[in-house]
Chains A and B, each alone.
Chain A
C-alpha cells in the first residue's frame, strides 16, 4: 500500500543511550520526510531526504535514505529528555503533494 511502516512502535531508553527508528516502504519513494511530535503538540518538520543513499545530520540526529529508496532511518546519539516524542516518517506520492505519514515511533527517555 501507500503507507510507510515504522519500527519499533515504542522505545524506552535511558538518557544518554542511542535510539534508532526505521521506516520501510514496499514501493520506491520519491522522497522521505521526518517529523517530530511532542506529547500534546503538533508535528514539526525535521528534514527531507531525496537522493538514494543520502545521509544528513542535525546535531545528534542522523538521517539516512536507503540505496533502493525504500527505507529510511533516524538515529539519535546520546538521547536527552528533550528528545521525547513521536517520530514520524512521511512520504509524498509521485505526481501529488499529498503527504502520507508513517505509523510513528514513540520515544520515551528516562533521566
Chain B
C-alpha cells in the first residue's frame, strides 16, 4: 500500500465547468476526509465518511459540492459550475478508528485552478 492516492494532481478548468477528483485511501482505513487548503491557510474541513456513509458535511460547502464513497473504498469529490473562488488545493485523508490512533494520512492533493 503506497498511502493515500489522489488524482489528478493538477486541474485547470474554465469557470462554469464541472470537475471531479478521486481519492484512493489506505485500504484498511474506514474513515475518509476531504479538506480544502488555500495558500497560507490551514486545511479546511469539507466532509467525511465512515465506510460508505457520509457522516458530516461542512456548512461552508455549497450545494455545488458533492462527495461520494461507493462501497466504502475510493471517494470522489465533484464541484459543479466552478467559480474562481473554488481555486485551492483539495486534500483527501484517511484514518482507522480503533484503540490506537495513528493520525490522519493525507494524500498529495489535487490543485484546482479555475480560470
Contacts and interface: CB of A to CB of B under 8 A. Distances in A.
Decide if A and B are genuine partners.
yes
Say whether chain A's binding surface is mostly helix, strand, loop, or mixed.
Answer: strand
A45 interface: yes
A101 B43 contact: yes
Nearest to A102: B42
B48 A45 contact: no
Given A42-B108, A43-B106, A45-B105, A97 B97 contact: yes
Say whether chain B's binding surface is mostly helix, strand, loop, or mixed.
Answer: strand
A46 B91 CA distance: 18
B102 A96 contact: no
B42 A48 contact: no
A45 B50 CA distance: 20
B25 interface: no
B29 to A, nearest CB: 12
A98 B103 contact: no
A44 interface: yes
Contacts of B101: 48
Interface in B84-98: 91, 93, 95, 97
B74 interface: no
Given A96-B56, A97-B31, A98-B56, A45 B103 contact: yes
Question: Looking at B48, B95, B104, B107, which has the most chain A CB atoms within 10 Å of its CB?
Answer: B104
Interface of A: 33, 35, 41-48, 88, 90, 96-104
Interface of B: 31, 33, 41-45, 48, 50, 55-56, 91, 93, 95, 97, 101-109
Given A42-B91, A43-B91, A43-B93, 12 more contacts: A42-B107, A42-B108, A43-B43, A46-B103, A47-B103, A48-B101, A97-B50, A98-B56, A99-B45, A101-B42, A101-B43, A101-B44
